Amino acid sequence: MNFTIILHAGVATGTVLLFAAIGEIFTERSGILNLGVEGMMLLGAMAGFSISLATESPWLGVLVAMLAGGALSLAHGVVTIHFQADQVVSGLSLTFLGTGLALVLGEGLTGQTPPLLLDYNIPLLSSIPVIGPALFQDHGILVYVGYLAAPLAWYYINKTRPGMHLRAVGQKPSAADSVGVNVYGIRYIYTFVGGCLAGLAGAIISLSVSPGWYSSQTTSGQGWIAIALVIFAQWNPMRAALGGYLFGMLRRLILDLQGPRILLGFANPLYINSNYSFFLIMTPYVLTIIALIFGSRAVAKKRAGSPSALGLPYVRGERGK
């Protein structure tokens, strides 16, 4: 167990959650709840992997993965924005649709080796002791982009005109509509953005962080963790980034805990009986549930970022919305 190694792995896997969660924050801030993140991620992971395999260009794979996630999210947009259907039902169906498509189209990809995204070092920064090698060495470009993505997203949402319109549409669409803001248009745009970022998150998994195609195990429920992270982060990209990295580190820690024979001076029960490690593997998911319970209570108490029109279709002329 080495802190630098855990941190290094944490930011790498955390980047996946970071992009998916920021995408979902954009979508939910506009008032649309998209529970289909897992499906969009898996489709993205498959699309990125297979395009890279076919074209020898991992970056083209990343682009197509984003478009695939975005296209899937637009289906959700049409159903919930245009036809005003229930967002929970539509989002859940989207998970099935995305997962199903990815599994069918990804048939036979297992074991293939496409060109992957390369790792780079950042000069100077990587020579900082302890955190330098962890944060700025041997990471894909998208990890470095991730460092910038959260503050940029925060700034965009809170300090720019389009960000203000985004928040208004999610909080009180009737107020936005009454001053000529295009509620439907904005909701479509951010639903699409959310889908693209979920697709990107998927491609980061299959082409960089844990490369390969392992059917539904490729994403292994990280889409759901991303959704939980959004609530836990109270719709704030900075907190989502922090949460994402912490989850990433936890995943690495779990692996590391199973290795040594002696742990903190005691015989390691996980080494003696590997069945115990099931409980350990459970931890991120259990933590997700706990974070959800406490997170949503905190949201209910304070007026934290929660968009009050989240999940509600907007119909012009209906009172009180």
Residues at the interface with other proteins (CB under 8 A): 159-165, 167-168, 171-172, 174-176, 178-181, 303, 308, 319-320
Exposed, middle or buried by CB within 10 Å (0-12, 13-18, 19+), for 197?
Answer: buried
Count of residues for the chain?
321
Cα 30 from Cα 80, distance rounded (Å): 12
**Cβ nearer to other proteins, comparing 25 with 42:** 25
In this structure, are residues 207 and 48 in contact, taking their beta carbons and an 8 Å threshold?
yes
- Residues 31 and 194: their CA atoms lie apart, in Å, by 12
User: Closest separation between CB of residue 315 and other proteins, Å?
Assistant: 15
d(CA 282, CA 208): 24
| Residue 31 or 98 with smaller CB distance to other proteins | 31
Q: What is the DSSP letter of 218?
A: G
Nearest to 65 by CA among 26, 112, 117, 13: 117
CB of 186 to other proteins, least distance (A): 12
Cβ pair 116, 211 in contact under 8 A: yes
Paired residues of 266 in beta bridges: 263
Whole-number Cα distances in Å, 48 to 120, 121, 133, 137: 20, 23, 28, 24
